Amino acid sequence: MDKIKINGGRQLNGKIFISGAKNAALPLICASLLTDETVTLTNMPMLSDIKAMNALLEQLGTQIDVFDDFVDGHETKTYSYRTKEATSLVAPYDYVRKMRASYYVLGPLLARYGHVEVSLPGGCAIGARPMDIHLSALEQMGAKIEIKNGYIVADIQGRLQGANIIFHTASVGATCNIMMAATLAEGITKIENAAKEPEIGDLAELLIAMGAKISGIGTSNLVIEGVKKLHGAAHKVIADRIEAGSYAVAAAMTHGRIELINAQADTLASPIKILRDCGVKVEEKENSLVVDATQAHLVGQDVMTDYYPGFPTDLQAQFMALMMIAEGASMVTETIWENRFMHVPELLRMGANINVHGHASAIVRGVKKLSAAPVMATDLRASFALVLAGLVAEGETTVNRVYHLDRGYEHLEEKLKAVGADIRRVKEDDEE
Ligand code: UD1
């Protein structure tokens, strides 16, 4: 398995291009299943999760073409998806096991074909990840759902029916899934307590370009008026706010200055506020965000995750890494996932002072220095927290299980090297 080696202690300065958002791209890809025409997505990130979703769609009968492209002078990929006729309506266990977001095929395939079978994703490192909200909403829209041999088997005679649905939790996945399903339903679907994450707005934008009728975007109340057919469209994926927030922390922790090209400040209000409260200068430009910690004396701040526009759970581990070296004590509280402090034992091995209380909160007391160690994490964002710790630790840190990082950080080593980090990937074959 590949490893990443980092020699800490370098100040990071320069520019980093923020890629298209993984968590927007995944549902956007699945929205293409709603039409027999071509859906083209530009500014797509090259990530293993995108490859996994593409493999799943190819297995369903989607024709996928990829083109090299440029966004603001940076190399990116454009993908086109065409599902003239699905050749399979089954998302097998082997695909869903590798990437939980495979459940995004559920809503589109059921709405278009009246039948779908999706393996239940099961739990994962950060929590149980149930699907009750997705399934109950589809049932309210008339679907018959059974769990058979570990698979969700969903059927509907004719079209799904519009319904008034209240989510017990503002689930991102369920909001995307039900919004996609409702675009082809008969009548009006209202979703109350919908999630408001920017990735949902991005999906709604594509669906509207495909002919869907959606209002209430960016609010907790979505209204979708079903149409009989959707058509092809082209769409540019929004910038990845989690990637931007992650590199913002890299600038802060190394007392550097990084301009995050393409980052959208309006999607990062809560993390930006905490960075500023910590003593970091953050300048919002039209098409970038400049994070300047060259003069900063970092002061610890409390961080509590919440649904958007609250502080994102996907930046919790990275901000905990920041608080590790900030002055004073900070309370980090996780409210979205029940098991999202697995980075803590690894950070402790690098000299951090963190006390976890139950599953939900941790006290982080700032330390003056960290020391390098071989570390590994069990999820994507936790792995980035270890990279951050490696960037400031004394000595050479080895981050194992790099496949987690490859799921969500495009060109990680190249981007960090370009701003001055001493970082390299050691391939399995050239183990030292
Ligand atoms: C998405 C993101 C993930 C992020 C999460 C929260 C993608 C591919 N992943 O995950 O990175 O951490 O949003 O911002 O976009 N829940 C239920 N029943 C359900 C569904 C969810 O109880 O049917 C609960 C979950 O257990 C969790 C909370 O709702 O406690 C939020 O989950 P959800 O928003 O659905 O997360 P995902 O869409 O899976």
SS3 298: coil
Q: How far is the CA of 159 from the centre of ligand 1 (A)?
A: 27
Q: Is 132 in the pocket of ligand 1 (CB under 6 A)?
A: yes
Say how many residues make up the chain. 432
Mean pLDDT along residues 393-398:
97
**Residue with CA closest to ligand 1 atom 17:** 130
Question: How remote is the C-alpha of 348 from its chain's centroid?
Answer: 26
pLDDT of residue 1: 81
Omega within 30 of 0 (cis) for the link into 309: yes
Residue range 381-408: mean pLDDT, rounded: 95
Ligand 1 pocket, residue 101 CB under 6 Å: yes
User: What's the 171 CA to ligand 1 centre distance in angstroms?
Assistant: 5
Does residue 96 contact residue 110 with C-beta atoms inside 8 Å? no
User: Using CA atoms, how far apart are residues 238 and 203, in angstroms rounded to an integer?
Assistant: 10
Mutate to test the pocket of ligand 1, among 100, 171, 193 (most ligand atoms within 8 A of CB): 171
Give the pLDDT confidence of 135-186 residue by residue, as tens digits. Answer: 999 999 999 999 999 999 999 999 999 999 999 999 999 999 999 999 999 9
Tell whether the model's pLDDT for residue 269 goes beyond 50: yes
Query: What was the pLDDT predicted at 123?
Result: 62
Task: Among 124-128, 188-192, 381-385, name the one with the lowest average pLDDT.
Answer: 124-128
Whether the CB of 174 sits within 6 Å of ligand 1: yes
3 state DSSP class of 269: helix
Q: Is the pTM of this model over 0.75?
A: yes
Q: C-alpha angle 252/257/263, rounded to 5°?
A: 85
pLDDT (mean) for 104-117: 98
Which two structure tokens, joined as six digits, stand for 79? Answer: 């993908």
Question: Ligand 1 center to residue 13 CA distance, Å?
Answer: 34
Q: Does the beta carbon of 133 lie inside 6 Å of ligand 1? A: yes
The mean pLDDT of the chain is 95
For residues 289 and 282, the answer to whether their CB atoms sit within 8 Å is yes
Q: Which has the higher per-residue pLDDT, 128 or 115?
A: 115
Longest CA pairwise span in the chain (Å): 65
pLDDT at position 429 is 62
Nearest to 14 by CA among 384, 292, 426: 292
Contact 129 CB / ligand 1 (< 6 Å): yes
Residue 230: predicted pLDDT: 98
Contact, 60 vs 88, CB < 8 A?
yes
The continuous run of DSSP H or E covering 44 comes out as strand 38-44
- So what's the pLDDT on residue 432? 47
> The tokens 């981007």 sit on which residue?
415
- What per-residue confidence (pLDDT) applies to 430? 59
> Cα–Cα distance between 99 and 150 in angstroms, integer?
16
Which positions ≥6 away from 431 have C-beta within 8 Å?
none
Which residue puts its alpha carbon closest to atom 4 of ligand 1? 314
- The DSSP element (H or E) to which 70 belongs, if any, is strand 63-71
CA distance 143 to 110: 9
pLDDT score for 122: 66
Say if CB 194 and CB 164 are below 8 A apart: no
Query: Does position 130 have pLDDT exceeding 80, yes or no?
Result: yes
Span from the CA of 169 to the centroid of ligand 1 (angstroms): 9
288-292 and 257-261 beta bridge pairing: antiparallel
Q: Mean pLDDT, to the nearest integer, of 336-340?
A: 90
- Which ligand 1 atom is the nearest neighbour of the CA of 242? 11
pLDDT of residue 426: 94
In Å, how far from its chain's centre is CA 174?
Answer: 15
AA identity, residue 369: K
Taking the C-alpha atoms of residue 389 and residue 325, their distance in angstroms, rounded to an integer, is 9
Q: What is the mean pLDDT of residues 68-82?
A: 89
Q: How many CB atoms lie within 10 A of CB 355?
A: 12
Q: Is 124 a catalytic residue?
A: yes
CA of 12 to the centre of ligand 1 (A): 33
pLDDT above 90: percentage of residues in the chain: 90
User: What does the DSSP 8-state code read for residue 357?
Assistant: E
Structure confidence at residue 178 (pLDDT): 98
CA separation (Å) from 115 to 106, 137, 155, 222? 9, 16, 5, 25
Contact between 163 and 143 under an 8 Å Cβ cutoff? The reply is no
* Residue whose tokens read 């610890």: 300
Position 334 pLDDT exceeds 70: yes
